[in-house]
Structure 1
Protein backbone atom coordinates (compact mmCIF):
# COMPACT_ATOMS: atom_id res chain seq x y z
CA UNK A 1 0.00 0.00 0.00
CA UNK A 2 1.23 3.53 -0.82
CA UNK A 3 1.37 5.16 2.61
CA UNK A 4 1.56 8.68 1.15
CA UNK A 5 -1.73 8.41 -0.75
CA UNK A 6 -4.13 8.98 2.19
CA UNK A 7 -2.25 12.16 3.15
CA UNK A 8 -3.08 13.91 -0.14
CA UNK A 9 -5.78 16.57 -0.06
CA UNK A 10 -7.47 14.88 -3.00
CA UNK A 11 -7.73 11.67 -0.96
CA UNK A 12 -8.79 13.15 2.37
CA UNK A 13 -12.32 12.83 3.71
CA UNK A 14 -14.74 15.73 3.58
CA UNK A 15 -16.21 16.32 7.03
CA UNK A 16 -19.32 17.90 5.51
CA UNK A 17 -20.28 14.78 3.58
CA UNK A 18 -19.66 12.03 6.13
CA UNK A 19 -23.38 11.23 6.24
CA UNK A 20 -24.23 11.79 2.59
CA UNK A 21 -25.36 8.18 2.32
CA UNK A 22 -28.33 8.97 4.59
CA UNK A 23 -29.20 12.34 3.01
CA UNK A 24 -32.23 12.93 0.80
CA UNK A 25 -31.88 14.06 -2.80
CA UNK A 26 -32.18 17.82 -2.19
CA UNK A 27 -29.68 17.72 0.65
CA UNK A 28 -27.14 15.89 -1.54
CA UNK A 29 -27.66 18.42 -4.32
CA UNK A 30 -27.30 21.34 -1.91
CA UNK A 31 -24.08 19.96 -0.45
CA UNK A 32 -22.58 19.35 -3.88
CA UNK A 33 -23.56 22.82 -5.05
CA UNK A 34 -21.99 24.43 -1.98
CA UNK A 35 -18.78 22.47 -2.46
CA UNK A 36 -18.68 23.43 -6.14
CA UNK A 37 -18.87 27.12 -5.21
CA UNK A 38 -15.42 26.76 -3.64
CA UNK A 39 -13.83 25.78 -6.96
CA UNK A 40 -13.77 29.20 -8.64
CA UNK A 41 -12.26 30.72 -5.50
CA UNK A 42 -9.51 28.10 -5.51
CA UNK A 43 -8.81 28.85 -9.18
CA UNK A 44 -8.67 32.55 -8.36
CA UNK A 45 -5.80 31.86 -5.96
CA UNK A 46 -3.63 30.37 -8.71
CA UNK A 47 -4.31 32.89 -11.50
CA UNK A 48 -0.69 34.15 -11.43
CA UNK A 49 0.46 30.56 -12.08
CA UNK A 50 -2.08 30.18 -14.89
CA UNK A 51 -0.74 33.42 -16.39
CA UNK A 52 2.72 31.86 -16.68
CA UNK A 53 1.25 28.81 -18.43
CA UNK A 54 -0.57 31.10 -20.87
CA UNK A 55 2.71 32.87 -21.63
CA UNK A 56 4.40 29.55 -22.40
CA UNK A 57 1.48 28.39 -24.57
CA UNK A 58 1.20 31.66 -26.48
CA UNK A 59 4.91 31.84 -27.17
CA UNK A 60 4.86 28.28 -28.49
CA UNK A 61 1.88 28.90 -30.76
CA UNK A 62 3.24 32.22 -32.01
CA UNK A 63 6.42 30.59 -33.27
CA UNK A 64 4.66 27.63 -34.88
CA UNK A 65 4.92 25.23 -31.98
CA UNK A 66 2.14 23.30 -30.27
CA UNK A 67 0.38 23.03 -26.93
CA UNK A 68 0.17 19.43 -25.76
CA UNK A 69 -2.12 18.38 -22.91
CA UNK A 70 -1.23 14.99 -21.47
CA UNK A 71 -2.80 12.97 -18.66
CA UNK A 72 -4.50 9.75 -17.65
CA UNK A 73 -8.15 8.96 -16.98
CA UNK A 74 -10.34 11.99 -16.31
CA UNK A 75 -7.32 14.30 -16.50
CA UNK A 76 -6.44 13.01 -19.97
CA UNK A 77 -10.04 13.30 -21.13
CA UNK A 78 -10.20 16.93 -20.03
CA UNK A 79 -7.14 17.72 -22.12
CA UNK A 80 -8.67 16.03 -25.15
CA UNK A 81 -11.96 17.90 -24.65
CA UNK A 82 -10.26 21.29 -24.61
CA UNK A 83 -8.02 20.45 -27.56
CA UNK A 84 -10.75 19.18 -29.89
CA UNK A 85 -12.81 22.33 -29.41
CA UNK A 86 -10.03 24.61 -30.69
CA UNK A 87 -10.39 23.85 -34.45
CA UNK A 88 -14.13 24.64 -34.68
CA UNK A 89 -13.91 27.62 -32.32
CA UNK A 90 -10.71 29.24 -33.61
CA UNK A 91 -10.05 27.58 -37.01
CA UNK A 92 -6.79 26.14 -35.73
CA UNK A 93 -5.23 23.09 -37.42
CA UNK A 94 -5.83 19.93 -35.40
CA UNK A 95 -2.15 19.55 -34.50
CA UNK A 96 -1.86 23.02 -32.93
CA UNK A 97 -3.49 22.07 -29.61
CA UNK A 98 -3.44 18.35 -28.88
CA UNK A 99 -4.75 16.14 -26.11
CA UNK A 100 -2.94 12.89 -25.35
CA UNK A 101 -4.09 10.38 -22.78
CA UNK A 102 -2.62 7.22 -21.33
CA UNK A 103 -3.87 4.19 -23.22
CA UNK A 104 -4.54 6.07 -26.45
CA UNK A 105 -7.81 7.13 -28.05
CA UNK A 106 -9.65 4.00 -26.94
CA UNK A 107 -9.06 5.01 -23.31
CA UNK A 108 -11.31 8.03 -23.80
CA UNK A 109 -14.43 5.88 -23.64
CA UNK A 110 -13.13 2.88 -21.72
CA UNK A 111 -10.49 2.74 -19.02
CA UNK A 112 -7.22 1.04 -19.95
CA UNK A 113 -5.88 -0.61 -16.82
CA UNK A 114 -2.28 0.14 -15.90
CA UNK A 115 -1.75 2.64 -18.72
CA UNK A 116 -0.90 5.42 -16.27
CA UNK A 117 1.55 3.45 -14.12
CA UNK A 118 4.69 3.65 -16.28
CA UNK A 119 6.77 6.79 -16.82
CA UNK A 120 8.19 5.44 -20.08
CA UNK A 121 4.73 5.37 -21.67
CA UNK A 122 4.37 9.14 -21.22
CA UNK A 123 7.76 9.61 -22.83
CA UNK A 124 6.87 7.28 -25.69
CA UNK A 125 3.65 9.13 -26.48
CA UNK A 126 5.49 12.44 -26.75
CA UNK A 127 8.21 10.91 -28.89
CA UNK A 128 5.48 9.59 -31.20
CA UNK A 129 4.36 13.15 -32.01
CA UNK A 130 7.98 14.34 -32.46
CA UNK A 131 7.97 16.79 -29.58
CA UNK A 132 10.33 19.76 -30.04
CA UNK A 133 11.68 22.68 -28.04
CA UNK A 134 9.04 24.91 -29.68
CA UNK A 135 6.21 23.06 -27.92
CA UNK A 136 4.61 23.50 -24.50
CA UNK A 137 3.52 20.38 -22.60
CA UNK A 138 0.89 20.63 -19.87
CA UNK A 139 0.80 17.52 -17.71
CA UNK A 140 -2.50 17.04 -15.87
CA UNK A 141 -2.92 14.86 -12.78
CA UNK A 142 -5.31 15.65 -9.94
CA UNK A 143 -3.18 13.70 -7.47
CA UNK A 144 0.00 15.18 -8.89
CA UNK A 145 1.75 11.83 -8.79
CA UNK A 146 0.77 9.89 -11.93
CA UNK A 147 3.88 8.15 -13.35
CA UNK A 148 2.68 8.54 -16.97
CA UNK A 149 2.56 12.32 -16.52
CA UNK A 150 5.85 12.43 -14.63
CA UNK A 151 7.55 10.62 -17.51
CA UNK A 152 5.99 12.96 -20.04
CA UNK A 153 7.11 16.10 -18.22
CA UNK A 154 10.63 14.78 -17.71
CA UNK A 155 10.93 14.04 -21.41
CA UNK A 156 9.47 17.43 -22.35
CA UNK A 157 12.16 19.21 -20.37
CA UNK A 158 14.87 16.98 -21.80
CA UNK A 159 14.08 18.19 -25.33
CA UNK A 160 13.71 21.83 -24.31
CA UNK A 161 9.91 22.06 -24.32
CA UNK A 162 8.25 24.16 -21.65
CA UNK A 163 6.74 21.77 -19.10
CA UNK A 164 3.76 22.79 -16.94
CA UNK A 165 2.33 20.63 -14.14
CA UNK A 166 -1.37 20.97 -13.31
CA UNK A 167 -2.50 19.23 -10.12
CA UNK A 168 -4.77 19.64 -7.09
CA UNK A 169 -2.25 18.95 -4.33
CA UNK A 170 0.47 21.12 -2.86
CA UNK A 171 4.09 20.10 -3.39
CA UNK A 172 3.05 17.45 -5.89
CA UNK A 173 5.49 15.12 -7.58
CA UNK A 174 4.69 16.40 -11.06
CA UNK A 175 5.46 19.94 -9.91
CA UNK A 176 8.97 18.85 -9.04
CA UNK A 177 9.74 17.75 -12.61
CA UNK A 178 8.18 20.72 -14.41
CA UNK A 179 9.37 24.21 -15.37
CA UNK A 180 6.26 25.65 -13.75
CA UNK A 181 3.35 24.32 -11.71
CA UNK A 182 -0.29 25.13 -11.08
CA UNK A 183 -1.50 23.54 -7.85
CA UNK A 184 -5.18 24.36 -7.48
CA UNK A 185 -6.26 23.00 -4.11
CA UNK A 186 -10.05 22.61 -4.08
CA UNK A 187 -10.22 20.63 -0.84
CA UNK A 188 -11.61 17.15 -0.14
CA UNK A 189 -14.09 15.75 -2.64
CA UNK A 190 -17.75 15.12 -1.85
CA UNK A 191 -16.98 11.45 -2.42
CA UNK A 192 -13.52 10.70 -1.05
CA UNK A 193 -10.94 10.47 -3.82
CA UNK A 194 -13.45 11.01 -6.65
CA UNK A 195 -11.45 13.65 -8.48
CA UNK A 196 -13.86 13.65 -11.43
CA UNK A 197 -15.81 16.10 -9.24
CA UNK A 198 -14.20 19.28 -7.85
CA UNK A 199 -10.66 18.62 -9.06
CA UNK A 200 -11.80 17.91 -12.62
CA UNK A 201 -14.01 21.00 -12.67
CA UNK A 202 -11.09 23.17 -11.54
CA UNK A 203 -8.84 21.69 -14.20
CA UNK A 204 -11.40 22.21 -16.95
CA UNK A 205 -11.73 25.85 -15.93
CA UNK A 206 -7.96 26.33 -16.08
CA UNK A 207 -7.53 24.55 -19.43
CA UNK A 208 -10.31 26.75 -20.85
CA UNK A 209 -8.41 29.78 -19.59
CA UNK A 210 -5.12 28.70 -21.12
CA UNK A 211 -6.49 27.93 -24.58
CA UNK A 212 -8.93 30.85 -24.77
CA UNK A 213 -6.47 33.48 -23.55
CA UNK A 214 -3.79 32.20 -25.93
CA UNK A 215 -6.20 32.43 -28.85
CA UNK A 216 -7.25 35.96 -27.87
CA UNK A 217 -3.58 36.97 -27.95
CA UNK A 218 -3.23 35.33 -31.38
CA UNK A 219 -5.91 37.64 -32.79
CA UNK A 220 -8.63 35.02 -33.07
CA UNK A 221 -11.12 37.17 -31.17
CA UNK A 222 -12.46 40.63 -32.03
CA UNK A 223 -14.19 42.40 -29.14
CA UNK A 224 -15.74 39.28 -27.54
CA UNK A 225 -16.65 37.55 -30.80
CA UNK A 226 -15.20 34.36 -32.31
CA UNK A 227 -14.11 35.91 -35.58
CA UNK A 228 -12.02 32.89 -36.52
CA UNK A 229 -14.87 30.41 -36.14
CA UNK A 230 -14.62 27.54 -38.61
CA UNK A 231 -17.75 27.58 -40.81
CA UNK A 232 -18.37 23.86 -41.19
CA UNK A 233 -22.16 23.55 -40.86
CA UNK A 234 -25.38 25.57 -41.08
CA UNK A 235 -25.39 26.60 -37.41
CA UNK A 236 -21.84 27.91 -37.59
CA UNK A 237 -22.55 29.75 -40.84
CA UNK A 238 -25.48 31.50 -39.18
CA UNK A 239 -23.24 32.38 -36.24
CA UNK A 240 -20.61 33.74 -38.64
CA UNK A 241 -23.15 35.90 -40.45
CA UNK A 242 -24.44 37.28 -37.17
CA UNK A 243 -20.89 38.04 -36.01
CA UNK A 244 -20.26 40.04 -39.18
CA UNK A 245 -23.59 41.83 -38.73
CA UNK A 246 -22.82 42.72 -35.09
CA UNK A 247 -19.33 44.04 -35.88
CA UNK A 248 -20.11 46.01 -39.02
CA UNK A 249 -23.79 46.91 -38.64
CA UNK A 250 -24.63 45.79 -42.19
CA UNK A 251 -27.80 43.87 -43.02
CA UNK A 252 -28.08 40.10 -42.75
CA UNK A 253 -28.01 39.73 -46.53
CA UNK A 254 -24.96 41.95 -46.92
CA UNK A 255 -23.16 40.04 -44.16
CA UNK A 256 -24.05 36.72 -45.82
CA UNK A 257 -22.80 37.92 -49.21
CA UNK A 258 -19.55 39.19 -47.68
CA UNK A 259 -18.95 35.89 -45.89
CA UNK A 260 -19.44 33.90 -49.08
CA UNK A 261 -17.22 36.28 -51.08
CA UNK A 262 -14.56 35.87 -48.37
CA UNK A 263 -14.57 32.07 -48.69
CA UNK A 264 -16.37 31.75 -45.33
CA UNK A 265 -13.55 33.59 -43.54
CA UNK A 266 -15.22 35.80 -40.96
CA UNK A 267 -12.20 38.02 -40.27
CA UNK A 268 -11.65 38.68 -43.95
CA UNK A 269 -15.32 39.54 -44.46
CA UNK A 270 -15.19 42.04 -41.59
CA UNK A 271 -12.06 43.69 -43.00
CA UNK A 272 -13.62 43.81 -46.47
CA UNK A 273 -16.67 45.61 -45.12
CA UNK A 274 -14.68 47.79 -42.75
CA UNK A 275 -12.21 48.96 -45.38
CA UNK A 276 -14.33 48.68 -48.55
CA UNK A 277 -11.57 46.65 -50.17
CA UNK A 278 -11.74 43.36 -52.04
CA UNK A 279 -10.85 39.88 -50.80
CA UNK A 280 -7.22 39.94 -51.92
CA UNK A 281 -6.50 43.35 -50.41
CA UNK A 282 -8.25 42.44 -47.17
CA UNK A 283 -6.32 39.20 -46.91
CA UNK A 284 -3.08 41.12 -47.39
CA UNK A 285 -4.05 43.58 -44.65
CA UNK A 286 -4.73 40.71 -42.25
CA UNK A 287 -1.39 39.17 -43.07
CA UNK A 288 0.34 42.49 -42.37
CA UNK A 289 -1.58 42.73 -39.09
CA UNK A 290 -0.65 39.15 -38.11
CA UNK A 291 -4.32 38.17 -38.06
CA UNK A 292 -5.63 41.00 -35.86
CA UNK A 293 -8.86 42.44 -37.29
CA UNK A 294 -8.65 45.75 -35.44
CA UNK A 295 -5.06 46.35 -36.58
CA UNK A 296 -5.86 45.37 -40.18
CA UNK A 297 -8.60 47.99 -40.37
CA UNK A 298 -6.28 50.59 -38.82
CA UNK A 299 -3.58 49.77 -41.39
CA UNK A 300 -6.00 50.49 -44.22
CA UNK A 301 -6.38 54.07 -43.01
CA UNK A 302 -2.67 54.86 -43.22
Structure 2
Protein backbone atom coordinates (compact mmCIF):
# COMPACT_ATOMS: atom_id res chain seq x y z
CA UNK A 1 0.00 0.00 0.00
CA UNK A 2 1.26 3.49 -0.84
CA UNK A 3 1.69 6.22 1.76
CA UNK A 4 -1.05 8.35 0.24
CA UNK A 5 -3.51 5.46 0.57
CA UNK A 6 -2.43 4.36 4.05
CA UNK A 7 -4.81 4.62 7.00
CA UNK A 8 -5.27 7.96 8.72
CA UNK A 9 -3.57 8.51 12.07
CA UNK A 10 -7.03 9.35 13.41
CA UNK A 11 -10.07 7.14 13.91
CA UNK A 12 -13.74 7.72 14.66
CA UNK A 13 -13.73 11.07 12.90
CA UNK A 14 -17.51 11.19 13.03
CA UNK A 15 -17.36 11.19 16.84
CA UNK A 16 -15.06 14.22 16.99
CA UNK A 17 -16.37 17.67 17.78
CA UNK A 18 -16.05 20.38 15.14
CA UNK A 19 -13.13 21.87 17.07
CA UNK A 20 -11.36 18.51 17.29
CA UNK A 21 -11.69 17.94 13.53
CA UNK A 22 -10.35 21.40 12.73
CA UNK A 23 -7.45 21.16 15.20
CA UNK A 24 -6.41 17.74 13.92
CA UNK A 25 -6.58 18.81 10.27
CA UNK A 26 -4.44 21.82 11.13
CA UNK A 27 -1.99 19.63 13.03
CA UNK A 28 -1.54 17.45 9.95
CA UNK A 29 -1.24 20.47 7.66
CA UNK A 30 1.69 21.76 9.68
CA UNK A 31 3.68 18.73 8.53
CA UNK A 32 3.32 19.67 4.88
CA UNK A 33 5.73 22.62 4.78
CA UNK A 34 8.37 20.51 6.50
CA UNK A 35 7.99 17.79 3.85
CA UNK A 36 8.28 20.38 1.08
CA UNK A 37 11.39 21.87 2.70
CA UNK A 38 13.17 18.53 2.22
CA UNK A 39 12.68 18.60 -1.56
CA UNK A 40 13.95 22.16 -2.16
CA UNK A 41 17.21 20.83 -3.71
CA UNK A 42 15.13 18.94 -6.30
CA UNK A 43 13.01 22.02 -7.04
CA UNK A 44 16.19 24.06 -7.36
CA UNK A 45 17.63 21.59 -9.84
CA UNK A 46 14.49 21.76 -11.96
CA UNK A 47 14.36 25.57 -12.06
CA UNK A 48 18.07 25.84 -12.82
CA UNK A 49 17.60 23.53 -15.80
CA UNK A 50 14.49 25.37 -16.97
CA UNK A 51 15.90 28.91 -17.02
CA UNK A 52 18.25 28.48 -20.02
CA UNK A 53 15.54 26.57 -21.85
CA UNK A 54 13.07 29.42 -21.31
CA UNK A 55 15.67 31.91 -22.48
CA UNK A 56 15.74 29.91 -25.71
CA UNK A 57 11.97 30.03 -26.18
CA UNK A 58 11.01 27.12 -23.93
CA UNK A 59 7.67 26.58 -22.23
CA UNK A 60 6.37 24.70 -19.20
CA UNK A 61 3.59 22.11 -19.35
CA UNK A 62 1.84 20.59 -16.34
CA UNK A 63 -0.08 17.34 -16.80
CA UNK A 64 -2.32 15.75 -14.19
CA UNK A 65 -5.67 14.16 -13.41
CA UNK A 66 -8.33 15.21 -10.91
CA UNK A 67 -7.10 17.50 -8.14
CA UNK A 68 -3.52 17.31 -9.43
CA UNK A 69 -4.57 18.41 -12.90
CA UNK A 70 -6.67 21.26 -11.51
CA UNK A 71 -3.76 22.52 -9.42
CA UNK A 72 -1.53 22.61 -12.49
CA UNK A 73 -4.16 24.55 -14.43
CA UNK A 74 -4.58 26.95 -11.51
CA UNK A 75 -0.85 27.68 -11.36
CA UNK A 76 -0.60 28.13 -15.13
CA UNK A 77 -3.62 30.45 -15.27
CA UNK A 78 -2.08 32.84 -12.73
CA UNK A 79 1.11 33.49 -14.71
CA UNK A 80 -0.28 35.94 -17.34
CA UNK A 81 -2.07 38.30 -14.91
CA UNK A 82 0.64 38.16 -12.26
CA UNK A 83 3.70 38.47 -14.46
CA UNK A 84 2.39 39.79 -17.78
CA UNK A 85 3.68 36.66 -19.50
CA UNK A 86 2.17 35.08 -22.58
CA UNK A 87 -0.57 32.50 -21.81
CA UNK A 88 1.48 30.05 -23.89
CA UNK A 89 4.44 30.23 -21.51
CA UNK A 90 2.91 27.90 -18.90
CA UNK A 91 0.10 25.50 -19.77
CA UNK A 92 -1.86 23.10 -17.59
CA UNK A 93 -3.43 19.97 -19.08
CA UNK A 94 -5.90 17.70 -17.31
CA UNK A 95 -7.01 14.15 -18.13
CA UNK A 96 -10.40 14.38 -19.76
CA UNK A 97 -9.89 17.86 -21.17
CA UNK A 98 -11.26 21.18 -19.97
CA UNK A 99 -14.62 19.69 -18.98
CA UNK A 100 -12.75 17.72 -16.29
CA UNK A 101 -11.83 20.95 -14.52
CA UNK A 102 -15.29 20.99 -12.93
CA UNK A 103 -16.58 17.46 -13.42
CA UNK A 104 -14.75 14.14 -13.28
CA UNK A 105 -14.45 12.35 -16.63
CA UNK A 106 -14.86 8.62 -16.15
CA UNK A 107 -11.71 6.64 -16.90
CA UNK A 108 -9.77 9.57 -18.37
CA UNK A 109 -6.80 9.17 -16.04
CA UNK A 110 -6.36 5.52 -17.05
CA UNK A 111 -5.46 6.33 -20.67
CA UNK A 112 -1.66 6.14 -20.83
CA UNK A 113 -1.49 7.50 -24.39
CA UNK A 114 -3.76 10.54 -24.15
CA UNK A 115 -1.38 12.92 -22.36
CA UNK A 116 1.16 12.72 -25.17
CA UNK A 117 -1.63 13.23 -27.71
CA UNK A 118 -2.70 16.32 -25.74
CA UNK A 119 0.89 17.60 -25.51
CA UNK A 120 1.59 16.97 -29.19
CA UNK A 121 -0.93 19.65 -30.14
CA UNK A 122 1.59 22.20 -28.85
CA UNK A 123 4.51 21.18 -31.09
CA UNK A 124 6.91 20.57 -28.22
CA UNK A 125 10.64 21.15 -28.60
CA UNK A 126 13.65 20.19 -26.51
CA UNK A 127 13.53 23.65 -24.91
CA UNK A 128 10.21 22.77 -23.26
CA UNK A 129 9.63 21.13 -19.89
CA UNK A 130 6.89 18.70 -18.87
CA UNK A 131 5.99 18.28 -15.19
CA UNK A 132 3.69 15.41 -14.26
CA UNK A 133 1.59 15.88 -11.13
CA UNK A 134 0.10 12.87 -9.30
CA UNK A 135 -0.09 12.38 -5.55
CA UNK A 136 -0.10 8.60 -5.91
CA UNK A 137 2.64 8.53 -8.54
CA UNK A 138 0.81 5.84 -10.48
CA UNK A 139 -1.67 7.70 -12.72
CA UNK A 140 -1.35 6.21 -16.25
CA UNK A 141 -2.24 9.49 -18.01
CA UNK A 142 0.63 11.27 -16.26
CA UNK A 143 3.16 8.44 -16.46
CA UNK A 144 2.51 7.91 -20.16
CA UNK A 145 2.88 11.61 -20.84
CA UNK A 146 6.21 12.12 -19.09
CA UNK A 147 7.68 8.92 -20.50
CA UNK A 148 6.86 9.97 -24.06
CA UNK A 149 8.19 13.46 -23.41
CA UNK A 150 11.45 12.12 -21.99
CA UNK A 151 11.88 9.78 -24.94
CA UNK A 152 11.54 12.84 -27.18
CA UNK A 153 14.43 14.58 -25.42
CA UNK A 154 12.25 16.94 -23.38
CA UNK A 155 13.14 17.78 -19.77
CA UNK A 156 10.73 16.01 -17.42
CA UNK A 157 9.93 16.25 -13.73
CA UNK A 158 7.16 15.17 -11.41
CA UNK A 159 5.46 16.20 -8.20
CA UNK A 160 4.27 13.24 -6.15
CA UNK A 161 3.86 12.19 -2.53
CA UNK A 162 4.87 8.54 -2.78
CA UNK A 163 8.52 7.42 -2.90
CA UNK A 164 9.73 4.85 -5.44
CA UNK A 165 6.66 5.32 -7.62
CA UNK A 166 6.41 4.56 -11.34
CA UNK A 167 6.04 8.28 -11.98
CA UNK A 168 9.17 9.18 -10.03
CA UNK A 169 11.10 6.50 -11.89
CA UNK A 170 9.93 7.87 -15.26
CA UNK A 171 11.27 11.44 -15.09
CA UNK A 172 14.59 13.29 -15.07
CA UNK A 173 13.84 15.13 -11.82
CA UNK A 174 11.45 13.53 -9.32
CA UNK A 175 10.11 15.83 -6.60
CA UNK A 176 8.70 13.59 -3.87
CA UNK A 177 7.11 15.32 -0.87
CA UNK A 178 6.31 12.62 1.69
CA UNK A 179 3.51 14.20 3.72
CA UNK A 180 2.26 10.97 5.29
CA UNK A 181 -1.30 9.64 5.57
CA UNK A 182 -4.22 11.98 4.99
CA UNK A 183 -6.57 13.02 7.80
CA UNK A 184 -9.39 11.32 5.87
CA UNK A 185 -7.82 8.14 4.53
CA UNK A 186 -6.89 8.51 0.87
CA UNK A 187 -8.23 12.06 0.49
CA UNK A 188 -5.20 13.39 -1.37
CA UNK A 189 -6.83 16.75 -2.06
CA UNK A 190 -5.78 17.57 1.52
CA UNK A 191 -2.11 17.29 2.59
CA UNK A 192 -0.89 15.97 -0.76
CA UNK A 193 -2.78 18.66 -2.64
CA UNK A 194 -1.40 21.33 -0.32
CA UNK A 195 2.15 20.08 -0.89
CA UNK A 196 1.62 20.12 -4.65
CA UNK A 197 0.29 23.68 -4.51
CA UNK A 198 3.27 24.85 -2.46
CA UNK A 199 5.73 23.24 -4.87
CA UNK A 200 3.96 24.67 -7.92
CA UNK A 201 4.10 28.13 -6.32
CA UNK A 202 7.83 27.67 -5.76
CA UNK A 203 8.56 26.47 -9.29
CA UNK A 204 6.64 29.15 -11.18
CA UNK A 205 7.48 32.06 -8.86
CA UNK A 206 11.21 31.30 -8.81
CA UNK A 207 11.20 30.84 -12.56
CA UNK A 208 9.47 34.19 -13.15
CA UNK A 209 11.90 35.98 -10.83
CA UNK A 210 14.86 34.39 -12.60
CA UNK A 211 13.41 35.47 -15.95
CA UNK A 212 13.30 39.11 -14.85
CA UNK A 213 9.55 39.42 -14.31
CA UNK A 214 10.03 40.94 -10.83
CA UNK A 215 11.91 44.06 -9.71
CA UNK A 216 12.86 44.24 -6.05
CA UNK A 217 9.81 42.45 -4.69
CA UNK A 218 7.26 43.93 -7.10
CA UNK A 219 5.18 42.41 -9.91
CA UNK A 220 6.17 45.11 -12.37
CA UNK A 221 4.78 43.18 -15.36
CA UNK A 222 1.34 42.43 -13.91
CA UNK A 223 -1.74 43.01 -16.06
CA UNK A 224 -3.63 46.18 -15.09
CA UNK A 225 -7.03 44.59 -15.47
CA UNK A 226 -8.99 46.40 -12.75
CA UNK A 227 -8.96 49.49 -10.54
CA UNK A 228 -7.33 47.67 -7.64
CA UNK A 229 -4.39 46.62 -9.79
CA UNK A 230 -4.07 50.05 -11.39
CA UNK A 231 -3.82 51.59 -7.92
CA UNK A 232 -1.27 48.97 -6.92
CA UNK A 233 0.71 49.83 -10.03
CA UNK A 234 0.68 53.51 -9.14
CA UNK A 235 2.01 52.72 -5.65
CA UNK A 236 4.80 50.64 -7.16
CA UNK A 237 5.79 53.47 -9.48
CA UNK A 238 5.84 56.01 -6.66
CA UNK A 239 8.11 53.74 -4.62
CA UNK A 240 10.49 53.13 -7.52
CA UNK A 241 10.40 56.68 -8.94
CA UNK A 242 9.86 59.02 -5.96
CA UNK A 243 10.27 62.10 -8.18
CA UNK A 244 6.83 61.43 -9.69
CA UNK A 245 3.56 62.43 -8.04
CA UNK A 246 0.44 60.29 -8.09
CA UNK A 247 -1.21 62.17 -10.94
CA UNK A 248 1.87 61.93 -13.16
CA UNK A 249 2.35 58.25 -12.28
CA UNK A 250 -1.24 57.49 -13.29
CA UNK A 251 -0.83 59.44 -16.52
CA UNK A 252 2.35 57.57 -17.43
CA UNK A 253 0.85 54.21 -16.49
CA UNK A 254 -2.03 54.89 -18.87
CA UNK A 255 0.43 55.91 -21.59
CA UNK A 256 2.90 53.03 -21.29
CA UNK A 257 0.60 50.26 -20.09
CA UNK A 258 2.87 48.65 -17.51
CA UNK A 259 4.74 49.49 -14.34
CA UNK A 260 7.99 48.25 -15.88
CA UNK A 261 7.64 50.53 -18.89
CA UNK A 262 6.95 53.57 -16.70
CA UNK A 263 10.02 52.85 -14.56
CA UNK A 264 12.20 52.39 -17.63
CA UNK A 265 10.96 55.68 -19.15
CA UNK A 266 11.25 57.81 -16.01
TM-score, normalised on structure 1?
0.86
SS at match of 2:171: coil
Q: Distance in 2 between matches of 1:251 and 1:31?
A: 51
> 1:147: Cα distance to partner?
0.4
Please tell me whether residue 21 in structure 1 is matched to residue 14 in structure 2.
Answer: yes
Please tell me whether residue 219 in structure 1 is matched to residue 212 in structure 2.
Answer: yes
**Which region of structure 1 is more displaced relative to structure 2, 233-242 or 95-104?**
233-242
SS at match of 1:103: coil
Q: Pairwise mapping of residues 1-302 of structure 1 onto structure 2 (< 5 A)?
A: 7-15=1-9, 17-249=10-242, 250-262=244-256, 264-273=257-266
Q: Distance in 2 between matches of 1:176 and 1:10?
A: 17
The answer to whether the 8 Å contact 1:56/1:136 transfers is no
Cα RMSD (Å) of the superposition? 1.0
> 1:231: Cα distance to partner?
1.5
SS at match of 1:138: strand
SS at match of 1:14: coil
> 1:255: Cα distance to partner?
1.3
Q: Distance in 1 between matches of 2:52 and 2:111?
A: 30
Higher relative contact order (CA 8 A, sep 6+): 2
Q: Distance in 2 between matches of 1:26 and 1:53?
A: 40
SS at match of 2:92: strand
Q: Distance in 1 between matches of 2:246 and 2:46?
A: 40
Cα offsets for 1:174-201 (capped at 9, x unmatched): 1111011000000000001100000000
Q: Distance in 2 between matches of 1:261 and 1:115?
A: 48
> 1:126: Cα distance to partner?
1.1
SS at match of 1:119: coil
Q: Distance in 1 between matches of 2:70 and 2:201?
A: 13
> 1:219: Cα distance to partner?
0.8
SS at match of 1:164: strand
Query: Would you say how many aligned residue pairs link Structure 1 and Structure 2?
Result: 265
The aligned counterpart of 1:291 is none
Cα offsets for 1:51-81 (capped at 9, x unmatched): 1121233233211110001000000000000
> 1:233: Cα distance to partner?
2.3
The answer to whether the 8 Å contact 1:60/1:67 transfers is no
